[in-house]
Homo-oligomer: A and B are copies of this chain.
Amino acid sequence: MDLSRQYAEARDAQDPIGHFRARFHIPDGHLVYFDGNSLGRLPLATRDRLLDAIEREWGGDLIRGWDTWIDLAGRAGDVIAEGVLDVAPGEVILSDSSSVNLFKLASAALDANPGRRVIVTDDDNFPTDRYVLEGLAQARGLQLRVVPTDIDEGVDPARIAAALDDDVALVCLSHVAYRSGALADMVAITTAAHRVGALTLWDLCHSAGSVPVPLRQSGADLAVGCTYKYLNAGPGAPAFLFVRRDLQARLRQPIWGWFGQRDQFAMGAGYDPVESIERFQVGTPPVLGGYAVLEGARITAEAGVANLAAKSAELLRYTLRLNDAWLGDRLTLATPSDPARRGSHVTFHHPQAWQICQALKAAGVIPDFRTPQRLRIGLAPLYTRFVDVWEGMARLRDIVDSGSYEAFEPALGRVT
């Protein structure tokens, strides 16, 4: 194992998608950014597009801009559908936040399965997913069946299957776990859910744009995802949702907004929703965010999800090798050891992970802390280089070797 910086540089020189980094705004060359899985970087095309949308379109076209903007959510959705999720145009649209979309699609799924009284999720699902489902279960007097998951190993399909019976209306899980980066087996779980007549709703926040998403192969029913991580659409950009084509016309979207209405501007009496994906829109969609998603998703589609996933896997393997060589067992792997079961981030356990995170930030490395006592390193493949991994891991090694992290405040009780 070559531990030199030159090795990392050589890997970058051979990287078939390495040139995509030049299409991002990267003002600080010293910074090692390991958090593109929380907030992706700014694409130059997005900056230019937003400036144009602000000044020329909003400022100049004013209300006439809506001639262009009215189907922006669908156009961006189509890029995500074809270029990121490998499903058909018309199966994905931008709308609201991931949380609101989860509420809409989970509610629709429950209405489509009347009489069934159980929602299945797991205890490692992202908090907002668990809360949204808990709220729906409470409002409807249903049971939320929370399957225990090993937070380092991720969702166990056998445990999910064991929780399924013909009283289950909906199975809702994350495709890639937000802490460990563990990849759930979408095909096995969807198959098991369908066997008992349940619908599946997948949270793709940590997978869209970083790993292939087998919506089509699995026959998954519904999905939501955010766009500010691997799709690089900026803080709070609108989320997307996926509804398999054959389900669209028969699902009851619970929030009957005018952007789902047939002949919207007739402003007629009585809600009469379209039968297509626009049925899952609600209110006036955010235009700046919509453009940011359009541009971000285009870059992802251009690079190709297979290439992105391959590079992620290589970056991740390299991270683990450097960790093994430099840090030994001082940081414990909190991500599946099987490469086929990983997304695009890697997590380590350390009892003082919070302090190590603070020390890394002070040293110009931005990872993320996650409860409990975990250091998360995101390897967003569009702009993360091997040399970034080398630099970041070297600084991490120095911090752990020197014990300099002890000088930082321990975690507050609430985030240990």
Known: A27-B60, A266-B414. A139 touches B254 (CB 8 A): yes
Chain B residue contacts of A87, Cβ below 8 A: none
Chain A, 228-240, contact with B by CB distance < 8 Å: what is the 0/1 string? 1000001111110
- Establish whether residues B132 and A256, one from each chain, have CB atoms under 8 Å apart when the complex forms: yes
CA distance A127 to B273 in the complex (A): 12
Asked if A128 CB lies within 8 Å of chain B CBs, one says yes
> Count the A residues whose beta carbon is within 8 Å of the partner chain — how many?
81
Copies in the complex: 2
Interface string of A260-271 (1 = CB under 8 A from B): 010111111111
With both beta carbons as reference points, the residue of chain B lying nearest to A267 in the complex is identified as B127
CB–CB B58/A257 < 8 A: no
Contact with B along A34-74 (1 / 0, CB 8 A): 01001101100001001100110011101111100100000
Residue A182 at the chain B interface, CB threshold 8 Å? no
A221: interface (CB < 8 Å) = no
Q: Indicate whether A17 reaches chain B with its CB closer than 8 angstroms.
A: no
Shortest Cβ distance from A292 into B: residue: B288
Q: Is the CB of B42 within 8 A of A255?
A: no
Stretch at the interface among A98-106, A167-175, A323-331: A98-106
Compute how far the CA of A259 lies from the CA of B130 in the bound complex, rounded to whole angstroms. Answer: 13
The answer for the CA separation of A134 and B371 in the assembled complex, in Å, is 42
Is A236 within 8 A of B267, CB to CB?
no
Bound form: Cα–Cα A47–B55 in Å: 7
Name which residue of chain B comes closest to A235, CB basis: B287
Is A130 a contact of B269 with CB atoms below 8 Å?
A: yes
> A388 at interface (Cβ–Cβ under 8 A)?
no
- The stretch from A207-215, A277-285, A300-308, A395-403 touching chain B is A277-285
Q: Are B269 and A55 in contact (CB under 8 A)?
A: no
Q: Is A7 an interface position by the 8 A CB rule?
A: no
**A-B contact list, 18 entries, CB within 8 Å:** A41-B59, A41-B62, A42-B58, A47-B54, A58-B235, A62-B366, A69-B236, A100-B283, A127-B264, A127-B267, A130-B269, A134-B270, A134-B271, A236-B289, A238-B286, A263-B414, A266-B371, A286-B289
